[in-house]
Amino acid sequence: MFNNVKLFLRLQNIFPKRTHNNVNTSSEVNAVAYVVSVGTAVPSYRLSKEEARATVRRLFGGAYEHLDRLLSIFDNSGIDERYSCVPAEWFETKHSVEEKHRLYVQNAIDLAERAIRECMESAGTDVSRIDHLIFVSTTGTVTPSIDAYLYNRLPFRRDVKRTPVWGLGCAGGAAGLARAYEYVSAFPDHMCLVVSVELCGLTFIADDRSKSNLVATSLFADGAAAALVAGSACRSSRGPRIAAAKSTIWPDTLDVMGWDVTNDGLKVVFSRDIPTLIHQEMYGNVSEFLQQHGISVETIDRYVLHPGGMKVLRAYEEALGLADDRLGYSRSVLRRYGNMSSATVFFVLKEAMADRSEASRGLVGALGPGFSSELLLLEWS
């Protein structure tokens, strides 16, 4: 009995009690991680708003009595242009799952490599310094995973750790960044590379005349990004510090967004309730996260939020009490690139890091299937 008590006390020291708010704070784990650089890449086919709308008009012609009224969504999307790995005419015919898969693999590898090279060049280092490679995607899957193909394209070390992440949708990029933060906090002399590739266009199903598919065509685009996250002991030029991360998942929300797997491929699930959920949940979620650090929403200088669409951005502004100009990075990325799912938040982060105006705190945020949220607190010195 006495020996069991001693063992219990010893385990208490090894595994201290945790709170149940799923928030990692620097005071709790002495975590230090820096976002050193971000690289981005888009495919070669550029689609203007007018081209995208004309394509959808041809695709959905006859499906709806008041199609022109529905197509006004393009005027209200906030997207002027986007990029695709296939030309516009590709969307007008059916394609097999196998063809989509092959296009995904080829383009995902190429775009990821470009994003990585830009990221490494900006950081003044090379991939041989990378200890952990996290690959994020939701629009395609392959075994061996894309990170293995990247290993055979670029001079990563043979002992590089690899973590492919699938299924987190638009939240995947922020989740990958959070996992990198946790990793380098535990190994301060390590570097972690987070790579995200999303080829949303390849999931399009020509026979799907649903409103969800129409809305998706007005928003989604293709792109890739890479972010280098370094521990405190790394000799590297330091960007903003990641001070904390928080993951949240809400019950009974499985039908809010995601994929239905069909014989024609991945069919989009896209609920109209997303802005409503943001109104109901986001302020409390963000406030709870920030209060763990003794700060409030009013102290955030830069918002690095995934721009799911204009309705989502307006819901963020209303829920958090933000003026229109507070989400300038997100609006700019949405206008020029569209919604690239998990990769988009890195495009927004790149703009925030390029802004040389004075700032002290930033909030990274993205929402995804589950229904879930990923938040990170950034600090500029």
Is the C-alpha dihedral spanning 138, 143, 144, 149 positive or negative? negative
In the structure encoding, which two tokens stand for residue 331, read together? 């609006």
Q: Tokens 């960007």 sit at which residue?
A: 239
Report how far residue 330's alpha carbon sits from residue 309's, in angstroms, rounded to the nearest whole number: 10
Q: Which of 119, 170, 200, 234 is catalytic?
A: 170
Q: What is the Cα 370 distance to its own chain's centre?
A: 14
**Residues pairing with 33 in the sheet:** 231, 242
The yes-or-no answer on residue 200 being catalytic is no
51, exposed or middle or buried, with CB in 10 Å at 0-12, 13-18, 19+?
Answer: middle
Cβ neighbors of 124 (< 8 A, separation 6 or more) are: 236, 237
Strand, helix or coil at 246? strand
Size (the chain), residues = 381
Burial call 218-243: b when 16+ CB within 10 Å, e when fewer: bbbbbbbbbbbbbbeebebeebbbbb
Report how far residue 311's alpha carbon sits from residue 282's, in angstroms, rounded to the nearest whole number: 14
Q: Tokens 């995601």 sit at which residue?
A: 258
The DSSP letter of residue 310 is: H
Q: Percent helix, strand and coil across the chain, each rounded to 5?
A: 45, 25, 30
Report how far residue 226's alpha carbon sits from residue 32's, in angstroms, rounded to the nearest whole number: 20
Give the active site residues. Answer: 170
